Structure 1
Amino acid sequence: MGKLKIVIADDQLLTREGIRTILDLEDDMKVVGAAKNGEEACEMAETLHPDLVLLDIQMPVMDGISALKRIKRSRPDIYILILTTFIEAEYIVEGMANGASGYLLKDMDADKMIAAIRDTAAGQFVLPASVAAKLAARMKWMTENEERSQKNRSNGLKLTEREEELARLIIKGLNNREIADALHIAEGTARNYISNLYGKLEVVDRAQAIARLHSMM
């Protein structure tokens, strides 16, 4: 089997060259290109025919997620590892949804990075523990949010985004003045919002409202 051909895309020269140096020392890997933005990464994916692309998220001209989508459309056979310092749940979910084979943290140990690249080339999905934890938290939040929505629908009651924000403040025990400050509105406006919410909940006071909201959220 020939060497694994790799393209590195990162806007930081030291990062690109540092990773290149590490990978070129491996007998089974060869860095065939180094791009400083997403557009260059896409061009190299087309012309250099790499097996795998290490793709930074935050880059000028074209970001990593946009480049990922473009590369996968034209070359779905290329493995793409997201190379990042940003462990944001949105990036994780969007990358997975668009065909990324996993994630590498820029500060990870060189041996672990090399092992992760080999695992990816073998068809495995690579997810460092810290990234997996972020993803799990995101999935938990989405599940809980869906459960709340289903509960609200089953109760025949749907709160607006502003009403949900108001409800959370009421549950926290904030008074009218504190709610007004939190929402950056006048106290009179806050009272009107609260009165309208009470009517929607079919309650007459704060205690009843809190009890009803606890059953919904």
Structure 2
Amino acid sequence: MIRVLIADDQTLMRDGLKTILDLEDDIEVVATCENGEQAIEQAIKLHPDVILMDIRMPVMNGVESVKKIKTSLPKIAVIMLTTFDDDEYIVEALSNGASGYLLKDIPADKLIEAIRDSLKGQLFIPTNIAAKLVAKLSHKESSKEILKKKLDLSEREIEVSSLLIEGHSNKQIAAKLFISEGTVKNYISNIYSKIGISDRTKAVLFLKENL
């Protein structure tokens, strides 16, 4: 059962999302919140698998909320929701660990698919947003220093990197390469060390840009 927390300041949106998700046999909405502060409190209390997080909310917005949640509960997948293409907020949320973002007018089946995919470690970031995010993260990490280290990868590490870019989880990578999950983790750790990045989202975006 996929346990979902919904955070949105609009009652109609919260109730609508809950109604849609409650129809699925493998999804359970464990709580709804109307601001980012409540989302943090409920996330700590309930440990959901996925959070649907509105970007613009009173008290605390979704960007600040995802930053605090991912710091203390890094395994929770957070999907940002927005009614418009708000690049600045979206990029900031993604750089703080969000798995991706969806427009609120997305069809119900696509929303449900995104929730399931988020648990597999898949990212859903449109190309234009990805480019801006890479630029932001590169600036934070000092792109010149990172580029000096890049691509000192073995053939197997490149295979693992390619599968990371495609959004596969460690378990899926292990199955595709016929190796154990522990070995996959070791390869990923080596890749992180070589490119100078320790966050999975940042690493995937860097590899996508440079491989």
Q: What is the alpha-carbon distance in structure 1 between the residues aligned to residue 134 and residue 117 of structure 2?
A: 27
3-state secondary structure, aligned to 2:48: coil
Q: 2:129 aligns with which of 123, 135, 147?
A: 135
- Which residue identity lines up with residue 15 of structure 1 in the other structure? M
CA separation of 1:141 and 1:62: change in aligned 2, threshold 3 A:
closer
Q: What is the alpha-carbon distance in structure 2 between the residues aligned to residue 89 and residue 99 of structure 1?
A: 16
- Which residue identity lines up with residue 129 of structure 2 in the other structure? L
- Which residue identity lines up with residue 80 of structure 2 in the other structure? I
Counterpart residue number, 2:114 = 116
Counterpart residue number, 1:55 = 53
- Which residue identity lines up with residue 17 of structure 1 in the other structure? D
Aligned length: 136
Structure with the greater alpha carbon radius of gyration: 1
State the shift of 1:126 in Å.
Answer: 1.7
Q: What is the alpha-carbon distance in structure 2 between the residues aligned to residue 54 and residue 113 of structure 1?
A: 10
CA separation of 1:61 and 1:123: change in aligned 2, threshold 3 A:
same
Counterpart residue number, 2:205 = none
Note the alpha carbon deviations across 1:126-175, whole angstroms, 9 max, x for none.
23xxxx15426747998xxxxxxxxxxxxxxxxxxxxxxxxxxxxxxxxx
Counterpart residue number, 1:79 = 77
Write the mapping of 1:1-217 to structure 2, written as runs, cut at 5 A: 3-127=1-125, 132-135=126-129, 138=132
Q: What is the alpha-carbon distance in structure 1 between the residues aligned to residue 49 and residue 16 of structure 2?
A: 20
Higher relative contact order (CA 8 A, sep 6+): 2
- Which residue identity lines up with residue 104 of structure 2 in the other structure? K
Note the alpha carbon deviations across 1:11-51, whole angstroms, 9 max, x for none.
00000000001001101100000000000000000001101
TM-score by length of 1: 0.59
Contact 1:89–1:135 (CA<8 Å) still a contact in 2? Answer: yes
% of aligned pairs identical? 54
Structure 1 segments unaligned to the other structure (5+ residues): 143-217
Contact 2:94–2:133 (CA<8 Å) still a contact in 1? Answer: no
CA separation of 1:15 and 1:73: change in aligned 2, threshold 3 A:
same
Contact 1:89–1:134 (CA<8 Å) still a contact in 2? Answer: no
3-state secondary structure, aligned to 2:3: strand
Q: What is the alpha-carbon distance in structure 2 between the residues aligned to residue 71 and residue 4 of structure 1?
A: 18
Structure 2 segments unaligned to the other structure (5+ residues): 137-211
Q: What is the alpha-carbon distance in structure 2 between the residues aligned to residue 73 and residue 140 of structure 1?
A: 20
